[in-house]
Amino acid sequence: MTPPVFFASHPSYYPEPAIDRGFLLLGQWTSQGAKWVKGEEIDAIVQHNQSLLKQQLRSFRPDVCLAGNLDFLQYDAEMLEQALTNRVPVAHYLMNEKPNYNAEQTPQQPTFRLITCSNWVKENLQAAGYPTKTTQTIYPGADVEAFYQAELPERDRLRIAYASLVAPYKGADVLVEALTLLSAMGIEFTATIAGGTLQPDFVAALKQFVEAEGLQTSVEFTGVLSRQELTELYQTHNVLVLPSRFEEPFGISQIEAMAAGLTLITSGTGGAGEVVAEHGQDGLLFESENPFDLAEVLSSLVNAGEEWRAIALSRTTTALEFSQAKATEQIEAVLLELVALKNSVSQPLPIKLHLGGKVAHPDWKILDIEDRPEVDF
């Protein structure tokens, strides 16, 4: 089989490495959620970031700015406004449900553009009152080249992979409970739960449950895997389960696994459901937080034969739709459009009126030739 062409050339015109990691963060993620810095440290970090951005705008003189996750870099939209005020167009690529600024703080300049990682995110923004007239959905590109396998995995039995943060909101417990149901049905399987955690007690509880059910020889917990190790994991598995109970903005792991030939079974929450065009055609859906439904969907593959193979074969079309090459081309098109828009809009000149303390006539037809202080509007 001739492998599909995923590759595209996007050469850099700048010396490498072209990365400055000088920005400071206003917080970090912990097992209890977002933890923000406090007191005077906040103002110091904000001033540092604004000063560094000002310096970069002056020295680098960018044609356009692509902004990513700004949650821990700013409180409102001040950094976006700073770039826009300096006549640098900005495309804010939103990978979360909402940005860190509210709808009223969204920049109004025509050279600002919101990009969403899924239609679900775009619809949520619109419902929350964000201006979305020019908002465009561009699905994040997965590294399908690295994960692609020419041959489909063996479908001799269920070999199930989970690859995500191991946390309650990601639904790892839903999968583990479904595995106990498969075991009770006498269905042979192995499962690997790969991923780090911010809640070690939760992982310990899952392991204890697995042992109590006598599944310790069938279920393995690997912890965090490198990209290479994840690639190797997919080479030995034939199903990926994404059991998230959280409304996922998207879900790149789904694309990576499908590129490797794994059959996707997903709860389809949020934007994650946009990966599966039709249940039973290019993936399988189950009800979120329902281990019984998940077990039923998993068990349906055991005797599916050619139907299972047909679902797995659809991965090429899906991988092409969500490849990095396609995403890069779409993002480049938006950035070029913003640059062209900036160049087409002339810089407005300030209006200078010499009022000299007089009351302006309603029609503003004032002639004052005396030397007066200028007032810029």
pLDDT tens, residue by residue, 210-258? 999 999 999 999 999 999 999 999 999 999 999 999 999 999 999 999 9
Is the pLDDT at 371 greater than 60? The verdict is no
pLDDT tens, residue by residue, 166-224? 999 999 999 999 999 999 999 999 999 999 999 999 999 999 999 999 999 999 999 99
Identify whether the C-beta of residue 239 lies closer than 8 Å to the C-beta of residue 247.
no
Q: What is the average pLDDT across 312-336?
A: 90
pLDDT of residue 19: 81
Comparison of pLDDT for 66 and 369, the residue scoring more: 66
Annotated domain spans of the chain: 27-139+324-344, 144-321
Highest mean pLDDT among 110-124, 135-149, 267-281: 110-124
**Domain 144-321 is in which class?**
alpha beta
Q: What is the average pLDDT across 349-360?
A: 46
Identify whether the C-beta of residue 26 lies closer than 8 Å to the C-beta of residue 42.
yes
